[in-house]
Structure 1
Amino acid sequence: MTSRRLRVLHLEDAELDHELALAHLRRGGLDVDTLRVETEPDYRSALREPWDVVLSDYNLPHGFTGLQALEILRASGRVLPFILISGAIGEDMAVEAMRNGASDYLLKSRLARLAPAVANAIQAAEMRRAKMEADARLARSQRQLRELAQHLQTSVEAERAAIAREIHDDVGGSLTALRFELAWLERRSPDAETQAHLASARESLTHAIEASKRIMQNLRPAILEQGLVAALQWMVQGFTRRSGIECTLRTSHETLQLPAGVPLVAYRTAQEALTNIHKHARARHVLVDLSLGAGVLSLEVRDDGRGLSKEDLAKAQSFGIRGLHERAGTVGGWIDLSSRPGVGTTLILSIPLGAAGGAADEDDAAGEAAAWGSS
């Protein structure tokens, strides 16, 4: 503790007891300025000034007590050490005072410990204040990181939409024009060999058109304009067709009215989960369950694959799982992930709809860029 003069607020109705406490403080090597108050109004008024410590008798005039003084200090929100001093405080009362936030308690007949008790209490209060400031800075940093993550996801989704439009307008237009040119050549070329080459070119062109549509769908899921349920049905069917893994969609509603941004977050979460299952899980069955109850939208993706070990979850490069948590947070949701090796993995996205913003149709959400892209 520093050697500066300490400001001590003393709640005490007996002048002699006040002088005795002051003498013990000075005898203990503390340089102090004190103010003695007796009543609750004077105490409340004095608390507006800066103090280093509050000393308080237990029994005070007009039925005012040290415990009430402690409660007033706590209600003020100030982190200020409070030491209770009494001529005959019972053990139960002392325990209650400590439980309510008192720094220490002393008997008036044993004030030799007052100076070190004050020094320790002030040091502990300084540590609490430092911790509170550190916690506040950490909370601000975490909030700023969440805002940055949301901004990055917004930028990614906007860029995806821009690329999808370019593919549709430029690449798609060129491929369509090329199809017409091939059709014109096929009608006017009687040569069999030329017809064979044209047929091969048409087949390659068909694959290119399908690939461009698939890329556009991944970049900006236009299927969401049909609603989240329809989009998940389309996703599940495509997953089964591409992977050969049996995938089932179960839903509590055929249609859903969801706040803006929520459908895209749910869609991307399911997309990420199915992609990981296809790459790593070696599963035979997958269940996608979408439900809405008690104001919470829940999306569960469960597989019967090899599962994840603790080492898998703790990998330094497991950005996919971290990304899922960040993306869920952009609409006030969270991710629960449970897995057992050899049993399978369950991922649950939960979104309280009240936290996700005002109500809006899913059609509105399809065009929202304020969601996130895949990791």
Structure 2
Amino acid sequence: MSSRPLRLLLIEDSEDDAELLLRELRRCGYELSHTRVETPEELRQALCSNTWDVIITDYALPGFDGLAAFAQVKQRGLDVPFLIVSGKIGEDVAVAAMRAGVHDFVLKDKLGRLGPAVTRELREASLRAERRKMQEQLMLSDRLASLGLLAASVAHEINNPLTSLMMNLDFTQQAPAHRKLNEDEGQALREAFECAERIQQIIRDIKIFSSPEEQQFGPTDLHRVLDSALRMAHNHVFHRALLLKDYGEVPRVHGSEARLGQVFLNLVINAAQAIPDGHRDAHEIRVVTRMDGGAVRVEIHDTGAGIPPELHERIFEPFFTTKRAGEGTGLGLSICRRLVTEMKGSIGVESKPGQGSTFWIRLRAAQEAKVVEAVKAKATGQGLGVLVLDDEVSVGKALKRLLRARHEVVTFDRAQEALAYITSGHRVDVILCDLMMPEMSGPEFHGELERLAPEQARRIIFMTGGAFTEESRAFLSATHTPCMDKPIDVQRLFSMLEALPA
């Protein structure tokens, strides 16, 4: 029989009884690494200093008993097989022990049961750990999926009218000199545009934290994601601490905005929750970025309560939490570690009670390919023929109003009407097409054009307010068709139109 390693914490005041128990476990094929303790303080130190595969205790001990020992283990949130081995135990005590959560009890005159009981409880503990891991993954997937659906819906519903609003404001700002606004009118227009841009930024921040399907990692702007996380966490932070940013010169990192956004938002909110209310000027949360060798390091410092050294690793375990009941699931830091690990990074904490905490993350610097732009500009200098297809009539009107000074623009709010226009013989230089429409989606419209007028299908630039289906996402990936987010970046749109080949 091959030996099985076993880290055993033995709570026993009798050296002779301890030796009998160890001999029985060795006989059952266990290679023991064990520590024997006798007092509550020794037990506390052993639980803090090491991890254990199984804990076995006598029932009657000097100064405390097996149930008090189990209460210490349970208080720390440890899921370790816990067995009572006693020379004499009454039925009422046995029942109380099992109700408390003790996994089994064995009489000292029947130690032949000990080895099989330990084997069984180790197997059950392994199964519980697997179930927790699966549950954690399901909860993560459900959380991200729910956020993704919510963000896509919110973004789509807001971005369409916001697109029209911002383009109309931009059009108004470009008013000819002879219709120049007075000072108050100009200031009102600028403030309206700034407010619209803030709404646009809020929608973008929401989308960053809610892309459950975004599994592809690539070069990611770390500071942009951090700024979004800090804006999202503002209501948790501003009444507890001063927020300070100490950004260094760092390259893009290997990761994804959605995954990093989840991590940073969780860590910043945790930092705020570690600080008591009502003393904002006495506390701070400092976010630092810097190079650490060849990696990029992010540090989130807080002046909160701090974390005992023995919990520095345990706080990353699934379902472990130091918060009061009902205030946390114990999954936040576990999810952070998993997400960072998926990006080939690492995460840890430095903290002492009463001296605050520093959570750090090391991320790989991205390997960015050099991009060479070679765009042939339209040589004629003449305006383009532009077809706008969007089921939001206001978006079509705003685009037409904005573009008609330079280009010939025709608008449609139904795909069938746009198809009829093209199949009747009309040709355009570019088609600005909404990606998600109720009667016929953008990819379906593209497919019909491929069949009826293939050269026109290659002229499409899609626009999206944030809603995607799996089919549309796969379509964009496969065809590499350009796609612009709403609200439309007007200068980028003009640049794309001017750079179209003749």
Between structure 1 and structure 2, the one with the greater Rg is: 1
- TM-score of the superposition, structure 2-length normalised? 0.37
Q: Which has the higher helix share?
A: 1
- TM-score of the superposition, structure 1-length normalised? 0.47
Greater relative contact order (Cα 8 A, min sep 6): structure 1 or 2? 1
